[in-house]
């Protein structure tokens, strides 16, 4: 066998093994790519990916991929690099939270915009995917008051009436922030959300009072929310408002 041919065979063997080598987890179960993301080293991330590191490899403890850690670290440069390798958006961590859940929850809309530009549209199953406690991407967006993300999800046909494990819809979660655009979009799409009760009998109006969210309270009342609605303990929103004023 000619030396050149032998060298080519050796190179081929090394390249075939490279992906396994660069994806091998350490003693704590963390793949090199995740470590590189967590240390913010863009060039190491690039090197690993160019040499076959698995884009969707997760750490052992939290089951999170490099893409999820890039979002958590708010490292847009690394996020952009990872997107080029078509990472999974429906891979859940130890709580079932996906990358789509995270980019819907993060305040910086650029992550969501980058994903839309790269993938175009989301398959239905990704938009419907729930965390272990029943939270959908729509709920994540509403909880954080991210109207840009919510609008895109609605435009792509994401369901907005899904309930979490406590029976709460995305409109209930709008009480967690003072922005009302998400609530307005939800009600424009499905006015019946106004009177949906959770497992405790709370309507979105109850939740707005309990959380002290005056902007949402005013919006819900303007949309016709029933101020006489009773929760499981036979309390109206007014009862809860009275309780808050005494505390």
CA torsion through residues 110, 151, 198, 89, sign: negative
Q: Which distant-in-sequence residues (6+ apart) come within 8 Å of 4 by Cβ?
A: none
- pLDDT tens-digit series, residues 103-134: 999 999 999 999 999 999 999 999 999 999 99
Taking the C-alpha atoms of residue 3 and residue 80, their distance in angstroms, rounded to an integer, is 41
Mean pLDDT for all residues in the chain: 91
Q: Backbone dihedral region of 118: left (phi > 0), alpha (psi from -120 to 50 degrees) or beta?
A: alpha
User: What local confidence, expressed as pLDDT, does residue 244 receive?
Assistant: 60
| 138-168: pLDDT as tens digits | 999 999 999 999 999 999 999 999 999 999 9
Lowest mean pLDDT among 69-73, 74-78, 163-167, 242-246: 242-246
Cβ contacts of 64 within 8 Å, gap of 6 or more: 34, 58, 72, 93, 94
- 48: its two tokens: 């690993």
Phi and psi torsions of 65, nearest 5°: -90, 175
Which pLDDT score is estimated for 51? 86
Class of domain 28-88: mainly alpha
Is residue 160 exposed (0-12), middle (13-18) or buried (19+ Cβ within 10 Å)? Answer: buried
- Compute the radius of gyration of the chain from its Cα atoms: 23
Q: Are 129 and 90 in contact (CB under 8 A)?
A: yes
Confidence band of 170 (pLDDT split at 50, 70, 90): very high
Q: Residue 11: what pLDDT?
A: 46
Stated pTM of the model:
0.88
């Amino acid at each position: 066998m000619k030396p050149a041919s032998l060298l080519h065979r050796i190179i081929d063997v090394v390249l075939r093994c490279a992906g396994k080598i660069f994806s091998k987890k350490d003693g704590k179960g963390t793949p090199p790519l995740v470590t590189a993301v967590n240390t913010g080293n863009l060039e190491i991330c690039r090197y690993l990916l160019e040499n076959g590191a698995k884009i969707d490899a997760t750490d052992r403890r939290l089951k999170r991929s490099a893409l999820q850690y890039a979002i958590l670290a708010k490292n847009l440069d690394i996020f952009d690099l990872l997107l080029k390798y078509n990472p999974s958006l429906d891979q859940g961590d130890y709580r079932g939270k996906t990358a789509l859940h995270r980019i819907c929850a993060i305040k910086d809309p650029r992550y969501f915009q980058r994903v839309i530009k790269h993938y175009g549209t989301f398959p239905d199953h990704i938009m419907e995917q729930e965390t272990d406690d029943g939270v959908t991407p729509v709920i994540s967006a509403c909880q954080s008051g991210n109207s840009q993300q919510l609008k895109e999800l609605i435009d792509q046909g994401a369901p907005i009436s899904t309930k979490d494990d406590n029976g709460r819809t995305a409109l209930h979660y709008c009480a967690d922030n003072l922005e009302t655009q998400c609530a307005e979009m939800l009600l424009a799409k499905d006015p019946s959300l106004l009177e949906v009760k959770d497992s405790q009998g709370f309507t979105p109006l109850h939740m707005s009072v309990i959380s002290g969210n005056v902007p949402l309270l005013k919006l819900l009342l303007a949309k016709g929310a029933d101020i006489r609605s009773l929760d499981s303990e036979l309390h109206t929103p007014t009862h809860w408002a009275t309780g808050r004023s005494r505390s």
